Structure 1
């Protein structure tokens, strides 16, 4: 399995025994499976909250995966812990409403980690209490973690905390004296941005908005320190995957470019640890981790049409294969089962796009391959069609949003679509500028090389109409413009986001000017 590290002989024995206990023919309480404890912790993304989002069909992929997990059951020894996203209500830790500080600078991260750890330890304590009976020893604690966005960062921080309290010996690991496996981590597009996010680096190039040694954060609306602007404060200082993790799967959003959403890869420097597998998916942050409502930005008028359904289904399968006790979809009611559906239209467009993009190599190269396709498509859609197909869907989008109780998003449809078109025109101008720089003998960054290549590409004009139409429909109907939907920093669609590889940072050569359609100034 991808990302599964080599296991010791004892770990292989433990894995086989644990997987055998998932056999439905096994009866709870049989000697070989009693006190085999399964604990799965789900950290939702920033601004995502299953209690409020599920009725609106905008719940994230983490929330959807959580809903397939059996309810916590002492007899079966299977437990699920759900942690609402930063900036959203979490009454158990005293957060009763949505929080600007939580959304902006990850306030509440420490409290969420502490609560999740306390809930985890309570479940372990239950098993330890039963283990006082000599016939009921804890045979294995099986821990799985899921997370999206800052929730993925929290999942990684949680793994590090647990790993620090584990002891290695005899080919395996123990926690509080009992055998434990941290056997699976399923992550969607990790973003830390704890404290001043990497987006604040924009201000280093923008002296007009600098005030002494402080910067006014458009996210939090308060003065924040102008140093260490990398979003890795406190609990997010080190997010490298611990060695005890058996398998970590990380899905990365290729088309996410916002300054305030820097990527924390699971790569460490130039190399991937043996226990991780990272896949770059097309789409922006919430096209990979979920969270968009049907019809938002005139995209995906049905839940099953969302691009995020593809990585959702892939992660579900990876988790089940690894042994996470998620229920089989066919056993679930239509309400939950339906949220894993992928329409034939979306599946066909995804396959066509992936065949065309042929993205490969390191993340930097794969990002270039994916953004190249976006550059040529967005330039065409905005400049040559004025997004006419999206414009034709405006009324239908507003109706879908109203029907799914997303009335607060209805006024945004026309406004954001106007920014989408402006962003595409800005990309078109940026491709021309990069090509001019190339012709003048200027040295180009990877970002500029990608833009210049896009300027030279005329296949959408002179190439086969069928291939052109599929690519345009992919970006017109499936891929959102997260810059247009954010407008809280100086991000530009033609820029790239920061990327972190453990303690190593990749900072792209971006356009740092303040002008742009999504600029808040």
Structure 2
């Protein structure tokens, strides 16, 4: 037994003492697993894109492993924009193992055309200026107030119809633009909590004396987990002194684990300015709701939830992607509580929450396993009934395989390279300064690659030109010898290969120029934390390319991060997804919601 297992045993013992649990009592362990947007076990298994949420879900003990003193129930909630199974029971856990390679489970076919027609109709509207004018008139006019109430009623009715129509609710275009599926998932979680308790008390002679609950979530799923925690404390449970009880049984929230929590959907066009410029989401009272509505109309699509993680959560861990910078994916922080830990880890959001495949831009997809193992150990130590990871291979090799790391670079695993990186780039604490430090490190590496690319490209172009200018080239019957033409063709092929793999860096250079030209009237907090550091990175990147093309020495290096972490493990989702273009926001850290 290692030190983590000892700490886990101590946590469970302290829980028993706190709630006066004797030998004649049972604990109901309930785990809720809210997957990320677009993530779904049934779809991800055959595509080998399992998220860390689904892997943790698989590790939670199955109900048949319940004992006289402990009962286990795990509930998986699929991500927004995917089919939602309201009552999966233990189907998913049992099927994941069988379907690792050849899962052929049927999924309902969505009438996508109808969903798109519905969404296009809902999305069509007036210009932002007209929208703002109408909003102002409605707020100031009594007639407008009445019209607003009518529209609100019809909007709620449409929402109810949408939530009750799975193929429409779970279509990506609806979920991403209108956050459909939120209410259905929360209500399902509420129902599952009640049914888990009812089933536990109806089976077994020993009474249930404690409900021990844990929550896990990824990006928007993390926000849903937080929203359900609030529901649990305010709508489901009753407060009795310092305790929360359900059906006269105490409820203990032992752990909440979040992977890169965000409220915004992929359809959101928010770039952080709505936070920095207006802070609309944090204005108290009715004004906030109006401001939030306007923000949504102007492009921000998000889950309407804003509160710190409650103090009733005994312990939490929020693993934050240090290199995530998609502007719509603003970070939703957990609050200022010593028991709520937030920690930066290298990578984009998918490198933290999972869902990528090997050789998809980078050779390895195992950086997400580092975050997975970190979360697993912290949850286990807090009292979540995960088996001891150090001995998991001997007890359950199948579950162990979901957490194993096999990729090595120069003899080191992703976990070991991450440790080296974190020693070199020390800030783990989530601040704007730390985010900029991590991104500076990345751009020093990327700038070095651009320097080498431009230097090599210039050399090949010079060699190609020299062939046609050489005296020997003129000896051929048609003005060029066959040997010279063959050599020239080889160089052209080398240039094509070079541009195929590294030509996207020229797009990054164009975005760098755009960043330097994009001088706006920005709020000081945004200028200092986001805009100015991005301009410094953009200029550095341009300089790297220029020095390389001119054959001058490379700019000086000050970063000590191992290049292997970027070459093999850290992904650039902006250059990975089809249709995603590189803009000046490529150089910017993302905004964080105040906590």
> With structure 1 as the length reference, what TM-score do the two structures score?
0.70
Q: CA deviation at 1:175?
A: 2.0
How do residues 114-263 of structure 1 correspond to structure 2 at under 5 angstroms?
114-129=187-202, 136-165=206-235, 166-193=237-264, 197=268, 199=270, 227=297, 230-233=300-303, 236-263=304-331
Q: What does residue 446 of structure 1 align with? A: 529
SS of the residue corresponding to residue 180 of structure 2 reads: coil
1:174 Cα deviation from its structure 2 partner: 1.1
Choose from 29, 39, 48 the match for 2:39. 48
Deviations 1:493-516 (A, max 9, x none): 1123221124xxxxxxxxxxxxxx
> Displacement, 1:98?
5.1
CA distance in 2, matches of 1:352, 1:136: 50
2:445 aligned with 1:364, yes or no? no
Structure 1: how far apart are the matches of 2:252 and 2:533? Answer: 43
Q: Which residue of 2 aligns with 1:274?
A: 338
Which of the residues 353, 358, 380 maps onto 2:421? 353
Please name the residue that 1:27 is paired with: none
Separation of aligned partners in 2, 1:295 and 1:19: 50
| C-alpha displacement of 1:327 | 2.6
SS at match of 1:291: coil
Matched, 1:338 2:364: no
Using the TM superposition, give the Cα deviation of residue 382 of structure 1 relative to its aligned residue in structure 2, in angstroms. 2.9
Provide the aligned length of Structure 1 versus Structure 2. Answer: 420
Q: Distance in 2 between matches of 1:387 and 1:358?
A: 32
- Taking the aligned partners of 2:563 and 2:19, their CA distance within structure 1 comes to 44
> How far apart are residue 452 of structure 1 and its match?
5.8
Distance, in Å, in 2 between the alignment partners of 1:312 and 1:330 is: 16
**1:44-71 Cα shifts (integer Å, max 9, x gaps):** 1111112221343321111111111121
Per-residue CA deviations over 1:315-339 (Å, capped at 9, x if unaligned) read 0100111111123322454443223
- Secondary structure of 1:180's counterpart equals strand
The 5 A counterparts of 1:424-503 are: 424-426=508-510, 429=513, 445-451=528-534, 454=537, 461=554, 471-486=562-577, 487=579, 492-502=585-595
Q: Look at both structures and tell me which one has the larger radius of gyration over its CA atoms.
A: 2
Distance (Å, rounded) in 1 between the aligned partners of 2:339 and 2:298? 30
Q: Does 1:68 align with 2:65?
A: no
How far apart in 1 are the matches of 2:328 and 2:262?
9
Tell me if structure 1 keeps the 8 A contact 2:351–2:570.
yes
Matches within 5 A, 1:277-426: 277-297=341-361, 299-301=362-364, 303=365, 306-328=366-388, 329-331=392-394, 333-342=396-405, 343=407, 344-359=412-427, 361-385=429-453, 420-422=504-506, 424-426=508-510
The one-character-per-residue Cα deviations of 1:113-161 (angstroms, maximum 9, x if unpaired) are 1111111110112234459xxx643210000000001110110001010
Could you say what the CA RMSD is over the residues aligned between the two structures, in angstroms?
Answer: 4.0
Contact 1:148 1:188 (8 Å CA) reproduced = yes
What is the CA distance between 1:444 and its match in structure 2? 5.8
SS for the counterpart of 2:213 is: strand
**In 2, Cα distance between equivalents of 1:321 and 1:374:** 33
**Cα 1:417–1:114 shift into 2, 3 Å:** farther
1:197 Cα deviation after fit: 3.1
Structure 2 vs 1, CA of residues 111 and 311 (structure 1 numbering), >3 Å: closer, same or farther? same
Match of 2:82 among 81, 88, 92: 88
Q: Is the 8 A contact 1:381 1:424 kept in 2?
A: no
* Counterparts of 2:346 and 2:500, CA distance in 1: 21
Alignment check: 8 A CA contact 2:323 2:439 kept: yes
Instruction: Report the secondary structure of 1:47's partner residue.
Output: coil
Q: Structure 1 residues 18, 240: closer, same or farther in 2, change over 3 A?
A: same
SS in 2 for 1:118: helix
Q: Distance in 2 between matches of 1:12 and 1:327?
A: 13
Question: CA–CA distance in 2 between the matches of 1:20 and 1:375?
Answer: 55
Q: Secondary structure at the match of 2:244?
A: strand
CA distance in 2, matches of 1:98, 1:262: 23
Q: Secondary structure, in 3 states, of the residue corresponding to 1:445?
A: helix
Judging changes above 3 Å, is the alpha-carbon distance between structure 1 residues 451 and 99 closer, same or farther for their aligned structure 2 residues? closer
Aligned to 1:67, what secondary structure does the other structure show? helix
1:519 maps to: none
Matching residue of 2:116: none
CA distance in 2 between counterparts of 1:56 and 1:19 reads 44
Consecutive unaligned residues of structure 1, counting only runs of 5 or more, are 1-10, 22-30, 205-223, 389-413, 438-442, 503-521
Q: CA, structure 1 residues 311+161, in 2 after alignment: closer, same or farther (shift >3 Å)?
A: same
